Amino acid sequence: MRLINRTAEAQERGRTVVAGIPIKSPRELEYMRQAGQVVAAVLGLLERSVEPGMRTRDLDTLVRQEIRRLGAKPAFLGYKGFPATICVSINNEIVHGIPGDRVVRKGDLVSLDAGAIVSGFYADGAITVGVGSIGREERALIDVTREALERAVALCRDGVRIGDLGHAVQSLAEGRGYSVVREYVGHGVGRALHEEPSIPNFGTPGMGVTLRKGMVIAIEPMVNLGGWRTALMDDDWTVVTADGSLSAHFEHTVAIGEDGAEVLTRLNGEGR
Ligand code: MG
């Protein structure tokens, strides 16, 4: 999501809200768990399906059919006018690429972002995959971005501060010579795709909002091979690196628990 400075959204009567952030009930978490499993399933389907010569629109169609087959609704289609079910962002594109006639080629770095709704509750996830065989530089960028996400997830528990999560992502990525995107951030998720709070991929340990049991966030490191600055393409959606360098993106929807986190977008029984 775009980083916007704004006060916490109005809290709705009768719902538990802490510091402007909704706390999910067990029933709401169950809906989100189901939405998360749909997202995990379609991202797995995309990873298995993407191959040189495919149009990005074909990937989109595949997911639209699969989300419906699984009894859920696509979260992105029509969101603020977004015209597709998934975002497909290739090479120097960071996020929000619109599927269309573009064909993916061997060696491309493709970020795939999908969201699903079950009983009014959202889940959001993303992966970056190489098409066919990719270079060592591309592979290393994918690996560091996924590892940054896992490090942040590993810190999630009641009492963790948002700065702790951002620092985990930033210190790993920058320590290896990459940069993290500043202008787009992770977010709370639940009854809406984007809720409070913002979850930046940079920060200072011990600073920022304290997360509590029952909050659900989407953590989504966006890591660039070059500088952190971004630019927006003429379609008003596709975000690219300002210097044209490669970018990777991974995202999980994570429920904060007493002593750890439940990764809602991790396929049940699989370690990723
Ligand atoms: Mg997201």
> What is the CATH number for 258?
3.90.230.10
The reply to whether 76 falls in a domain is yes
Average the pLDDT over 62-78 and give the result.
98
Tell how far the Cα of 270 is from the centroid of ligand 1, in angstroms.
Answer: 21
Q: Separation of 100 CA from ligand 1 center, angstroms?
A: 21
The Å distance, Cα 43 to ligand 1 centre, comes to 14
3 pLDDT higher than 90: no
Query: What is the CA(125)–ligand 1 centre distance, in A?
Result: 7
Any domain includes 271: no
Q: Return the closest-CA partner of residue 148 out of 166, 124, 129.
A: 166
DSSP three-state, residue 136: helix
In a domain, 205, yes or no: yes
Q: What is the pTM of this model?
A: 0.93
Which long-range contacts does 56-64 make (Cβ < 8 Å, 24+ apart)?
56/88, 56/90, 56/97, 56/99, 56/100, 56/101, 56/102, 56/103, 56/104, 57/84, 57/99, 57/100, 57/101, 59/86, 59/88, 59/99, 59/112, 60/84, 60/85, 60/86, 60/88, 60/99, 63/114
Q: What is the pLDDT of residue 173?
A: 98
Which residue reads 């709370």 in tokens?
A: 188
Overall average pLDDT of the 24-44 stretch: 98
> Does residue 70 sit within a domain?
yes
Query: What percent of the chain stands above pLDDT 70?
Result: 93
**149: domain range?**
17-263
| pLDDT tens per residue, range 128-164 | 999 999 999 999 999 999 999 999 999 999 999 999 9
Residue 4 lies in a domain: no
How many domains, in total, are found in the chain? Answer: 1
Tell me which residue has tokens 């630019």.
231
Q: How far is the CA of 153 from the centre of ligand 1 (A)?
A: 15
Residue 38 belongs to some domain of the structure: yes
